[in-house]
Amino acid sequence: MGSVVVSYKIFPVDITVDFNELREKIEGCLPEFASIYGFGEEPIAFGLNALIAHIKIPEDKTGVLDKLESNLVQIGEISQVQSVMVRRISR
């Protein structure tokens, strides 16, 4: 069975947010069936970067995206979460 990778653009509250700590907090807030597929960064403006989180979930789970997004916005260092892409993968 395949999996789905959801890519989120995560905007920090400030340019001083430590992305290493933020990555750990994101990993810690994931449901047990979800895992990190990878991270990236994207420059926004004036030294502000967005963290791109690629999260892998089983394709047969329903209602997961709302739960993922609500968990992410509860992290204090995150000001906004934007779903960028959802794609199916075979592994």
Of 85, 86, 78, 16, nearest to 51 by C-alpha is 78
Instruction: Give the C-alpha separation, 56 to 88, whole Å.
Output: 9
Determine contact, residues 59/88, Cβ cutoff 8 Å.
yes
Domain coverage including residue 78:
3-89
The pLDDT > 70 percentage for the chain reads 98
- Token representation of residue 56: 């892998």
Give the CATH number of the domain where residue 34 resides: 3.30.70.60
Q: What is the pLDDT of residues 11-20, one digit of tens each?
A: 999 999 999 9
pLDDT at 7: 96
Q: Confidence class of residue 91 from pLDDT cuts 50, 70 and 90? A: low
Tokens encoding 55: 């999260």
Q: How many domains does the chain have?
A: 1
Residues 58-82 pLDDT 10s? 888 888 888 888 899 999 999 999 9
Q: What is the pTM of this model?
A: 0.90
Average pLDDT on 38-45 reads: 94
